[in-house]
Amino acid sequence: MAATGDKSWAAAEMWKHFRNIEKNSYLPVNTTGHGYKGYLDTMVVDSGWINQKGGDGAEIFKQLAGVTGQTGNVSELIYRDINKEGAGRDEELGFYGLATHATKTTKRAGPAYYVKATLADAKKYPLTLQLNSLVTKVLFSNDSTPTAIGVEVLQGKSLYGADRRRKADVKGTATKIYAKKEVIIAGGAFNSPQILKLSGIGPADELKKFNIPVVKDLPGVGERLADNYETSYIALAANKKPLTGVGAPVALLLKTPTSPTKRRNIYAFCGAISFEGFWPGMPTEYGPSEFECAFVHMNPKSQAGYVRLRSADPTDTPDINFRFFEHGGDQDLTELLDAVKTVRSAFEKVAAPVTPWDEVHPCKGTNAKCSDEAQKEFIKNQAYSHHPTSTCAIGPASDKWAVLDSKFRVHGVKNLRVVDASAFPKIPGAFPVVPTMLLAEKATADILGTAV
């Protein structure tokens, strides 16, 4: 709301959208701030294992509670509602139930199921879903103000360069699809800016480099790419002792001593897991002695990445560079290391025979002494992410880097909107899945002119 002055982005209004989409299964019906009839199933991971008498898990979480200043029964703390409504919620710390977008039977829930359900009711909802189609550019009229009238599409399987099944000799069939009202792009933080640029909307110098006619010079298209930093602390019990009374992870929200605001800055999930990043074959399983707290850094200081064209070929992938840690990097690394130190201090308080832990990282070994610099270097080199945002950011037309107005409309053209995570001026929290769904729900109300 601060960026545009549009009151429809106020927290109270966004909570209405959340209630509209949620189908809550973990709280009593009519709990304030929640919905029960939407398309998005939400549940909390069962962490009953923590109540196992004499279990190692209960002791680990007792120590985690101690070092994070939590009082009370841990078995109750771990089921607190992380999605509760209310002022000051972003400053609250401690354990929470690990809420996820899934049904009671842990079946993943999300917009894809919503789309399928809509397609199944063709009489009520005349939706057409066309697969094997690669949008190459937006089509515009020749009016004084460029007006989007449709899209150009290549039809065929596996045409995009990121698809490993792609065959170089398959070119696809070009066709055009015209819009009756508006064109809405939802290609995500990587492909939405690519589509805009291929259509002539973006930094003029970049477009001219590839002989793309400039429809609208918008320097912010593809710039200010942002993401959360993610890392982890993982250790094995002494002598690879199999841990007892452990299971699915629990959420833990922290505010490190070096956080520049009053708000929590680290989202962690802790349990008998191994989650260290994204690569073929991940994760590495270390056996029944493993225990981990994985960290997501909220509000990182660096927002300097970009998505730029490699060529004017729409089947070519763009040049994507997050430029991690280039701005405010030491501050971000310090906050992440503080989170590691907090969790490590709790682990070290667990009694034998679980301890001494054999730390996997960031300070490898048993009773190892690593400098802050060495640990920061490990985190910097190992940091991973999967929450890209902000490459078509919302903001006022006076802002050089703004691409969209508060109603998702592209500045300087008509009948064209972008509705996906690229629209966020900054990363929303630690896990932008639900915020992106809320963004889509708000866009629906804006486009249809319906109140919430």
Do the Cβ atoms of 353 and 241 come closer than 8 Å? yes
User: Per CATH, the architecture of 43-95+228-301+325-382 is what?
Assistant: 2-Layer Sandwich (3.30)
Buried b (16+ CB within 10 A) or exposed e, 187-222: bbbbbbbbbbbbbbbbbeebbeeeebeebbebebbb
- Dihedral Cα 398, 399, 401, 404, nearest 10 deg: -70
Count the residues in the chain: 452
- Ramachandran angles phi, psi of 172, nearest 5°: 85, 165
In one letter, which amino acid is 324? F
- Dihedral Cα 389, 395, 398, 402, nearest 10 deg: 20
Q: List the pLDDT tens digit at each of the 452 positions of the chain.
A: 677 889 999 999 999 999 999 999 999 998 999 999 999 999 998 888 888 888 999 999 999 999 999 988 888 899 999 999 988 889 999 999 999 999 988 899 989 999 999 999 999 999 999 999 999 999 999 888 999 999 999 999 999 999 999 998 888 999 999 999 999 999 999 999 999 999 999 999 999 999 999 999 999 999 999 999 999 999 999 999 999 999 889 999 999 999 999 999 999 999 999 999 888 888 899 999 999 999 999 999 988 999 999 999 999 999 999 999 999 999 999 999 999 999 999 999 999 999 999 999 999 999 999 999 999 999 999 999 889 999 999 999 999 999 999 999 999 999 999 999 999 999 999 999 999 999 999 999 999 988 77
CA–CA–CA angle 381, 384, 390 (5° rounding): 120
In whole angstroms, how large is the CA radius of gyration of the chain? 24
Neighbours of 298 (CB within 10 A): 23
Distances from the Cα of 384 to the Cαs of 228, 276, 325, in angstroms?
Answer: 8, 8, 12
State the pLDDT at residue 152.
Answer: 98
In one letter, which amino acid is 304? A
Question: Where, residue-wise, is CATH 3.30.410.40 in the chain?
Answer: 43-95+228-301+325-382
- Cα 296 to chain centroid, rounded: 10
Q: Where are the alpha helices (DSSP H) in 184-270?
A: 188-198, 204-209
Question: Where, residue-wise, is CATH 3.50.50.60 in the chain?
Answer: 130-225+388-448
One of 3.40.50.300, 3.10.105.10, 3.50.50.60, 2.20.28.10 is the CATH number of 130-225+388-448, namely 3.50.50.60
Neighbours of 238 (CB within 10 A): 16
Distances from the Cα of 353 to the Cαs of 236, 270, 420, in angstroms?
Answer: 12, 20, 49
Q: Could you tell me the two tokens for 238?
A: 């002494």
| pTM listed for this prediction | 0.95
* CA atoms within 13 Å, Cβ hemisphere of 139: 12
Which residues are designated catalytic? 387
In one letter, which amino acid is 378? F
User: Bridge-partner residues for 361, per DSSP?
Assistant: 234
- In the chain the first and final C-alpha atoms are separated, in Å, by 17
Do the Cβ atoms of 15 and 441 come closer than 8 Å? no
State the pLDDT at residue 16.
Answer: 95
